[in-house]
A and B are shown apart, each in its own frame.
Chain A
Amino acid sequence: MKTRVQNLSLAVVLVLLTLAFGALAPGFLRPSALASMANQVAPLIVASAGLTLVLIVGGIDLSVGSVLALASVLTGLAMVQLELPFGVSCLFGLLAGSLCGVINGAVTARARVPSFIVTLGMLEIARGLAYLVTSSQTQYLGGRVGTLARPLPGLGLSPSLLLAVAVVLGCQTLLSRTVFGRQLVALGTNEGALELVGVNTRRLKVWTFTLCGALAGLAGALHTAYLETADPNAAVGLELSAIAAVVIGGTSLMGGRGSVVGSFLGVLIIAVLQSGLAQLGANEPVKRVTTGAVIVAAVVLDQMRQRRASRRDAERSSSAASASISSAEEPEEALQEPPGGEDSQDPGRKLE
């Protein structure tokens, strides 16, 4: 319910932003221009979907960019060395991505090391492996891999993008309609309580990271198709764009709250912003400054909105309670923010 409102407001922002750039930059609103912009971000959409799940359980995966590159070069290697068709070669990339995810998850869950550290290590490891297997050479694969990324005639959108949208819908359904998904949200809210309910939280974590790794692998295949090369330097820093998109989409870095559809809209907002600014003639530094400011502003706004919503809920429930008698509800300690005194603290409330 609440996420629906949130996604709606993200969509409104996206439309307004697009229209604003359309008014300023002639040609920005041409369907072919918009479609090619969307086709370009298909890999980022897929990677962000996986990352959203990881953030919801209260983890983080910094290795998505490197894993994407590793998957990309393994796909290329399978095509060139083993002379396999592109579709089969992609399985190598997917497998490698899943394996990286299993390792991320297993070390995080078993050794109880923060996922920030584990995936920071994997960021280096996967990137290093990508250089190792290619001897740091970029391999051109030719037009035979590009079909996925080429716009479909009459539609303008590429199969890659449609696949990415399907992934988003699939992940969102998984999150909101299945026991697995609800357990992910519960895990991000209170791991200890979930254990006491009889859920194997370690296995749940390993699965989440595996899914994220596999999706990074899939993103690698889409990236390979888009550039028609297997490049060990691919997607450096993609993890940061993905985190930005997910956070703009309303997912909490502390876990327990998030939406895959929101992340999808977050990716599109960043894409519109970047290509719109480029069309206006802004150079790279200006683009980066603006994008950075937008990321922070989006999260600040989201926080303010959340606080307002919870205050409204509090008022609603206290007015509902005054009707009932003995066990009347009052939102006791939970909802009032302590007024900032340094020694007043409310241990129940997470600071985000």
Chain B
Amino acid sequence: MLGANGAGKSTLAKVLAGVVRADAAEIRLGDELYVADTRTAARSAGVEIVLQELTIFDTLTVAENLFLDELPRGAFGWVDRRSLLERSQRALDRVGLGISPSVTAGQLGVAEKQLVEIAAALERDCRLLILDEPTATLPADAVDRLFRQVRRLRRRGVSVLLITHRLEDVHAVADRVTVLRDGCVAARGVAVEEGLQTLERALGLETPEGPPVTSRRESGASALRVERLTGNGFVDIDLEVAHGQILGLGGLVGSGRTQLLRAIYGADDRRGGRVLLKGSELSAGDVAASVAHGMGFVPEERQSQGLFLDLSIEDNLSASCPAVRAGWLAHLGWIDRQKTRLRCASTAQTVSLVHRDLDQTVRELSGGNQQKVVLARWLLAGASVLLLDEPSRGVDLGARAAVHALLRQRVREGGAVLVASSDSDELLALCDTIGVLVEGRLTELRPASDWSQASLLAAALGRAA
């Protein structure tokens, strides 16, 4: 199933799996009428779902997460730990996740948690398996393994409904395609090629990647300089981003990209090395200083780290912006409401945010527009050096193109951008220069034109390109 963010794919999937109740429905599963009032009812009818948002219990072990609703019982109703661990190990092997089932789930990264959820769903007997954007966070080898499992299920007669934004996924496993647009079916169960054409029309895009890479500005002055930076998960990183440059960081999930960006920004401590922003050295672990020097950070987990979900768009936009203080009371932190509103409104327009008004809570926005809010916050604050971690995760192609265009615009105005992404398409389309992190070490930085999908993947896997 394809469609833009906000087309209703996730909601429809949740209705089918009994997570959300339909206003009105007549659903048939096979030949029988199927009523999915609760997730339990859906499960007993043989419908299983892997939700887009993680539903992992951080304080339980991986094994307990896998079999929470049907823990194997031993004598006196005790949990049979041995059989639990054995079954968990089998489930983890199936998705190729090399962790111990007795590890606490909170220690896992996002991709690993996603794989645990997929493993749990694969363990259950079902007639219909719904996967809501399972590949967004997964590294390429894990996606391959997932699709092998999907094909295995298909051979066993299980139907799989795969929701995705990635066209590679469609080509890899889909038999038929359904396209949603604004909550309606635009194409139902058509052949793959026809579905993709419908999707392009639905997105209003001729070329989903947007305009080709802009003219590069050669060797501007250094905006951000990182020297021999070492910290938790990365070693001896040297890199430099010039004004007018977009530098991309590739690599597998877990290769240290997120930790590196956080350490540069000052959100995490570092063990050694220096970070220079426009020539002045930043002290370790001081986000406020980074922000004051014009750095901005768009974190990977948008909802939990980037946004105040229950606050208004205006509050979210102005969260980092000291410039909205005004008048003779400015030093007391007095807010000039009118000016704040005007600025927020014009920034929202710049990023073409789809919203009702500035008082709307950010929770109500779709993933793509939430990402625009996080980015717009830094545009409003006038940040000239932007760090972005997986900027298009859970964002539809239209919003992704818009985010890319905004970044290019920022760079043309003399900004500098450092992007970490698992998506090699994104790196190749957006960046001037790309480096790959392999187990915390940075490979040689090369111009984007010297890289290809294949060489990026090879480098990420640690093979010579």
Q: Which residues of A contact B (CB under 8 A)?
A: 1, 177-180, 182-183, 185-186, 189-190, 192-200, 256-257, 310, 313-314, 316-317, 320-322, 324-336, 338-348, 350
Nearest to B397 among chain A residues (CB) is A326
Residues facing A in B290-345 (CB within 8 A) are 290-292, 297, 299, 303-311, 315, 318-320, 322, 324-325, 332-335, 337
Q: Is there contact, CB below 8 Å, between B10 and A327?
A: no
Q: Is there contact, CB below 8 Å, between B10 and A333?
A: yes
Given contacts A257-B310, A317-B364, A329-B365, contact A182 B315 (CB under 8 A): yes
Q: Is there contact, CB below 8 Å, between B287 and A326?
A: no
Query: B288: which A residues are within 8 A, CB to CB?
Result: 198-200
Q: Is there contact, CB below 8 Å, between A339 and B305?
A: no
Shortest Cβ distance from residue A341 to the other chain B in the assembled complex, whole angstroms: 4
Query: B283: which A residues are within 8 A, CB to CB?
Result: none
Query: A321: which B residues are within 8 A, CB to CB?
Result: 6, 182, 354
Given contacts A178-B333, A329-B355, A336-B20, contact A189 B308 (CB under 8 A): yes
Q: Within the assembled complex, what's the spacing in Å between the Cα atoms of A194 and B309? A: 12
Residues facing A in B388-436 (CB within 8 A) are 396, 398-399, 402
Given contacts A317-B356, A321-B6, A348-B53, contact A332 B320 (CB under 8 A): no
Q: Can you give 28 A-B contacts (C-beta < 8 A)? A: A177-B337, A180-B333, A182-B315, A185-B315, A190-B305, A190-B307, A196-B267, A197-B291, A197-B320, A198-B290, A198-B320, A199-B288, A199-B320, A257-B310, A310-B361, A314-B364, A326-B202, A327-B352, A327-B369, A327-B396, A328-B7, A329-B354, A329-B366, A331-B364, A336-B11, A341-B19, A345-B55, A346-B53
Q: Is there contact, CB below 8 Å, between A178 and B6?
A: no
Q: Is there contact, CB below 8 Å, between B335 and A327?
A: no
Q: A327-B368, A335-B363, A339-B38 are in contact. List 18 more A-B contacts (CB 8 A).
A: A179-B325, A193-B306, A196-B305, A197-B377, A198-B291, A198-B320, A317-B356, A327-B6, A327-B352, A329-B6, A330-B6, A330-B366, A333-B53, A336-B11, A341-B19, A341-B39, A344-B39, A348-B363
Closest 8 CB pairs of A and B: A198-B291, A341-B38, A179-B333, A189-B308, A197-B320, A344-B39, A178-B333, A334-B363
Nearest to B368 among chain A residues (CB) is A327
Nearest to B53 among chain A residues (CB) is A347
Interface size on B, residues (CB 8 A): 77
Number of A-B residue pairs having CB atoms within 8 Å of each other in the complex: 184
Shortest Cβ distance from residue A5 to the other chain B in the assembled complex, whole angstroms: 13
- Tell me, yes or no, whether B21 is within 8 Å of chain A by CB: yes
Partner of A328, one of B19, B333, B354: B354
Query: A326: which B residues are within 8 A, CB to CB?
Result: 4, 202-205, 396, 398
Q: Is there contact, CB below 8 Å, between B359 and A327?
A: no
Query: B399: which A residues are within 8 A, CB to CB?
Result: 327
Q: Is there contact, CB below 8 Å, between B287 and A198?
A: yes
Given contacts A177-B334, A200-B288, A339-B20, contact A327 B354 (CB under 8 A): yes
Query: B335: which A residues are within 8 A, CB to CB?
Result: 177-179, 182
Shortest Cβ distance from residue A101 to the other chain B in the assembled complex, whole angstroms: 20
Query: A331: which B residues are within 8 A, CB to CB?
Result: 363-364
Query: B55: which A residues are within 8 A, CB to CB?
Result: 345, 347
Shortest Cβ distance from residue A319 to the other chain B in the assembled complex, whole angstroms: 10
Nearest to B203 among chain A residues (CB) is A326
Nearest to A183 among chain B residues (CB) is B319
Chain B CB within 10 A, most for which of A197, A347, A350: A197
Given contacts A180-B333, A196-B267, contact A334 B318 (CB under 8 A): no
**B71-114 to A contact mask, C-beta < 8 Å, 1/0:** 00000000000000000000000000000000000000000000
Partner of A330, one of B11, B52, B308: B11
Given contacts A196-B287, A326-B202, A344-B19, contact A190 B356 (CB under 8 A): no
Chain B CB within 10 A, most for which of A193, A196, A314, A327: A327
Q: Within the assembled complex, what's the spacing in Å between the Cα atoms of A347 and B117? A: 14
Shortest Cβ distance from residue B318 to the other chain A in the assembled complex, whole angstroms: 7
Q: Is there contact, CB below 8 Å, between A325 and B182?
A: yes
Nearest to B374 among chain A residues (CB) is A193
Q: Within the assembled complex, what's the spacing in Å between the Cα atoms of A190 and B311? A: 10
Nearest to B8 among chain A residues (CB) is A330
Query: B19: which A residues are within 8 A, CB to CB?
Result: 338-339, 341, 344
Q: Within the assembled complex, what's the spacing in Å between the Cα atoms of A197 and B373? A: 13
Query: A336: which B residues are within 8 A, CB to CB?
Result: 11, 14, 20-21
- Tell me, yes or no, whether B178 is within 8 Å of chain A by CB: no
Shortest Cβ distance from residue A42 to the other chain B in the assembled complex, whole angstroms: 27
- Tell me, yes or no, whether B183 is within 8 Å of chain A by CB: yes
Q: Within the assembled complex, what's the spacing in Å between the Cα atoms of A77 and B287? A: 46
Given contacts A327-B398, A327-B399, A328-B4, contact A185 B311 (CB under 8 A): yes
Q: Within the assembled complex, what's the spacing in Å between the Cα atoms of A310 and B69? A: 31
Q: Within the assembled complex, what's the spacing in Å between the Cα atoms of A324 and B318? A: 26
Q: Is there contact, CB below 8 Å, between A348 and B309?
A: yes
Nearest to B337 among chain A residues (CB) is A177
- Tell me, yes or no, whether B360 is within 8 Å of chain A by CB: yes
Shortest Cβ distance from residue A4 to the other chain B in the assembled complex, whole angstroms: 12
Shortest Cβ distance from residue B442 to the other chain A in the assembled complex, whole angstroms: 23
Q: Is there contact, CB below 8 Å, between B305 and A193?
A: yes
Q: Is there contact, CB below 8 Å, between A189 and B309?
A: yes
- Tell me, yes or no, whether B349 is within 8 Å of chain A by CB: no
Nearest to A178 among chain B residues (CB) is B333
- Tell me, yes or no, whether B37 is within 8 Å of chain A by CB: yes
Shortest Cβ distance from residue A39 to the other chain B in the assembled complex, whole angstroms: 32
Q: Within the assembled complex, what's the spacing in Å between the Cα atoms of A178 and B311? A: 16
- Tell me, yes or no, whether B18 is within 8 Å of chain A by CB: yes
- Tell me, yes or no, whether B214 is within 8 Å of chain A by CB: no
Q: Is there contact, CB below 8 Å, between B267 and A313?
A: no
Partner of B369, one of A329, A340, A345: A329
Shortest Cβ distance from residue B425 to the other chain A in the assembled complex, whole angstroms: 19
Q: Within the assembled complex, what's the spacing in Å between the Cα atoms of A257 and B311? A: 9
Given contacts A179-B325, A322-B183, contact A193 B308 (CB under 8 A): yes
Query: B359: which A residues are within 8 A, CB to CB?
Result: 1
Nearest to A173 among chain B residues (CB) is B334
Query: B304: which A residues are within 8 A, CB to CB?
Result: 190, 192-193
Query: A194: which B residues are within 8 A, CB to CB?
Result: 308, 319
Shortest Cβ distance from residue A59 to the other chain B in the assembled complex, whole angstroms: 17
**B357-385 to A contact mask, C-beta < 8 Å, 1/0:** 00111011111110000000100000000
Q: Is there contact, CB below 8 Å, between A328 and B182?
A: yes
Query: A199: which B residues are within 8 A, CB to CB?
Result: 288, 319-320
- Tell me, yes or no, whether B54 is within 8 Å of chain A by CB: yes
Chain A CB within 10 A, most for which of B39, B40, B292, B299: B39
**B25-39 to A contact mask, C-beta < 8 Å, 1/0:** 000000000000111
Shortest Cβ distance from residue B60 to the other chain A in the assembled complex, whole angstroms: 13
Query: A310: which B residues are within 8 A, CB to CB?
Result: 361
Q: Is there contact, CB below 8 Å, between A196 and B182?
A: no
Query: B311: which A residues are within 8 A, CB to CB?
Result: 185-186, 189, 256
- Tell me, yes or no, whether B5 is within 8 Å of chain A by CB: yes
Q: Is there contact, CB below 8 Å, between A332 and B6?
A: yes
Q: Is there contact, CB below 8 Å, between A190 and B299?
A: no
Q: Is there contact, CB below 8 Å, between B307 and A193?
A: yes
Q: Is there contact, CB below 8 Å, between B204 and A325?
A: yes
